Amino acid sequence: MAIMSVNIAYGYHNFTHFDCLLTSEILMGNENSRESERKRAQASLTGFSSEEKQKFENLYEKVLNGYDEITKDLLKTHLGIGLAEDVITRIFQRMTHTRPSGSARVTEASFYTVIAHLVSCRTDKRAHIIYTLASSTPESGLSAKELFSFVKIVISSYFDLLNIHKKLDSRLWTLPVRVSYSELDLLTYFSLNDLFYPDRKARLSSKTVQSIPDAVYSEEDLLKWCGQPSLFPACFTSTFQTLFPVCDEPERSLLPIFFGKKGMEDHTNLLRVGDVITINQSIPQKLREKWTLLFDSRKHGESFTNLLRNVRKHRNTVLVVRDIEGHIFGGFSTAVWSNHAAFQGSIDNFLFSIHPVLDIYKPSG
C-alpha cells in the first residue's frame, strides 16, 4: 500500500491561439513569388507570439537543412527515432495536401500550418489533425482499427521520447520507462474506452474491453472524444510539442515530479509509468505538478495507526493498494484524512483500477 499527496501547480498556461486552418486558402496568390509565399507563411501563424514565429522559422530552416525544399526523408531525419515512419509519411502528405491541387511541394506556409495543428492544445484543432492523420481515407471516415493503430503508435512514441530525453530522471522517478506490448495495449484501450464503449456496462466486460468494435467515426465523433479528459489527446500534444519545440509555454509534463522520503526511492513499484500518468491526468489540472510519498507499507509497516499518523490532516491524496491476489486499485480524494461518521469528498474524487483492468471510475451522482 502507498499513499501520496498531490500539490497545486500555480500559473498553468492554457493555449488559446493556433487559429490557422488546414485549408488551401492560406496558400492562394502568386506561387512564383517568394515574397508572397513568405506572407502566406506569416499569415498561417496568426495568434503566435513573435518569439514563437521565430521558432517556427528556425525549425523550418533546420528541417530544410540547406536544401531547396522539404522532402519526406528530410522530415524523417529531423524526427529520428521519435516517431513511426507511417506517421511521418502521413504528416508529410498533410503538408503537401494543404496546397492547391497539382502541386506536391511543401512550402513554409503548409509546413507551419500542419505543425501548428500538431502542437495545438485546442480541441477542434487537435481533433482535426488526429482525424486526418489516423484515417487512410478521411473522406470515407475513420475506422476503429485505424484509430486504435494510430493511438498505439503515438502513445509508444510518447514513451520512447520520455526515454530519449531522460524525462523520468528530471521528474525524480525511478520507474522503468519501457512499456511492454501488453501495457501499451491496455493504455490504448483505456484511451479509447469512452469512444469505443460509451456504455460503461460494456466496458466492464473483460471480453469487450479487449476487442475493437467494427465502427467508423467522423471528425465530429473525434471532436467530442477529444473534448473529454483523456490520456491520448494529452500524449499526442506532448509528443509533438517535444518533436517540434516551437511553443513558448508548452503543456506541462504529464508526469508529476515525485518527492519520496529519504531511503524510499525504490518503494514506488506498485505503479508503472503509464499508471502514474493515467491517474495524474484524472486529477484536477491544478494538482498535477507534484506527488509526495506519505506512506508505504513496505517501509512503515502494515499498522493502520502508522498509516493514519502519516496521512492525517493531508488532503488531495492518492491511495494505491495491491491485494494478496495481485489486483492493484485505489482512489483519489480531495478531503482531509480525519475521523468522520459520514462520507465526505467532492465531485473531483474518483476510484481507479490498475491491474488486471485499467480504468477510472468517476462519481456518478
Measured in residues, the chain has a length of 365
Q: Can you list the residues of the chain whose pLDDT is less than 50?
A: 8-31, 99-102, 205-209, 262-265, 267
Supply 26's cell numbers. Answer: 492560406
Nearest to 105 by CA among 71, 59, 134: 71
Q: Please, what are the domains in the chain?
A: 2-11+253-361 (no CATH), 25-243 (1.10.238.10)
The answer to whether residues 1 and 296 touch, using CB atoms and an 8 Å cutoff, is yes
Q: What percent of the chain has pLDDT over 70?
A: 78
Whether residue 233 is preceded by a cis peptide bond, meaning omega within 30 degrees of 0, is no
Reported as a single tens digit per residue, the pLDDT across 267-309 is: 456 888 888 889 998 998 888 888 888 888 887 878 888 888 8
The span from the CA of 174 to the CA of 267, in Å, is: 9
The answer to whether residues 326 and 353 touch, using CB atoms and an 8 Å cutoff, is no
0.95 surpassed by pTM: no
The answer to whether residues 192 and 232 touch, using CB atoms and an 8 Å cutoff, is yes
Using DSSP bridges, classify how beta strands 290-296 and 257-259 pair: parallel, antiparallel or unpaired: parallel
CA distances from 76 to 90, 135, 155 (A): 11, 20, 18
> DSSP letters of 319-331?
EEEE-TT--EEEE
> DSSP letters of 128-193?
HHHHHHH-SSGGG-EEHHHHHHHHHHHHHHHHHHHHHTTHHHHTT--S-----HHHHHHHHHHHHH
The span from the CA of 56 to the CA of 42, in Å, is: 10
Supply 46's cell numbers. Answer: 496568426
What is the model's pLDDT at position 259? 78
The span from the CA of 45 to the CA of 171, in Å, is: 32
Reported as a single tens digit per residue, the pLDDT across 142-159 is: 999 999 999 999 999 888
Whose grid coordinates read 498556461?
13
